[in-house]
């Protein structure tokens, strides 16, 4: 239906990616500026909020800046599967275990018929780390415990 609105890739997502790239390149002032620019007027207009109703960030650097970028991206793209990949890669936002002690799955499981017929499939569990989920000591963010 042509009246159905579905955002596949948005300006907001691209701006958060730019901010994260600027952070990774050591351009923290640029990353902070990009982060604040996506909040105003971007997200405030998208959600129909009054100007300056969302918080602005100042004097952030290092891991605190990365956490702010990823947290705002998480809020802006809530329910988008990309957020799960970002969380696995950067460990932000910091999400607690559930009251029942359940963790967030770190990977999608292969279907049983794929495991049965493809010798290259490693039968790992929900919480096993993979190459794209290093928790990532080389990433300019923070490490997480396995």
| Residue 133, pLDDT score | 57
| Residue 17, pLDDT score | 96
Sign of the dihedral through C-alpha 69, 71, 72, 76: positive
Show the low-confidence residues of the chain (pLDDT under 70). 1-2, 100-102, 123-146
What is the pTM assigned to this prediction?
A: 0.73
| Residue 68, pLDDT score | 94
| Residue 141, pLDDT score | 45
Q: How far apart are CA 106 and CA 89, in angstroms?
A: 10
| Residue 14, pLDDT score | 95
């Amino acid at each position: 239906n042509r009246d159905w609105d579905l955002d596949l890739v948005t300006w907001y997502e691209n701006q958060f990616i730019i901010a994260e790239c600027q952070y990774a390149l050591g351009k923290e002032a640029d990353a902070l500026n990009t982060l604040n620019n996506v909040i105003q007027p971007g997200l405030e207009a998208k959600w129909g909020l009054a100007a300056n109703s969302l918080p602005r960030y100042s004097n952030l650097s290092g891991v605190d800046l990365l956490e702010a970028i990823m947290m705002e991206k998480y809020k802006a793209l809530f329910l988008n599967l990309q957020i799960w990949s970002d969380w696995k890669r950067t460990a932000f936002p910091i999400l607690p275990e559930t009251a029942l002690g359940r963790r967030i799955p770190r990977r999608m499981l292969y279907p049983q018929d794929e495991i049965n017929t493809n010798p290259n499939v490693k039968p790992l569990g929900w919480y096993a780390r993979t190459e794209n989920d290093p928790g990532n000591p080389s990433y300019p963010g923070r490490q997480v415990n396995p």
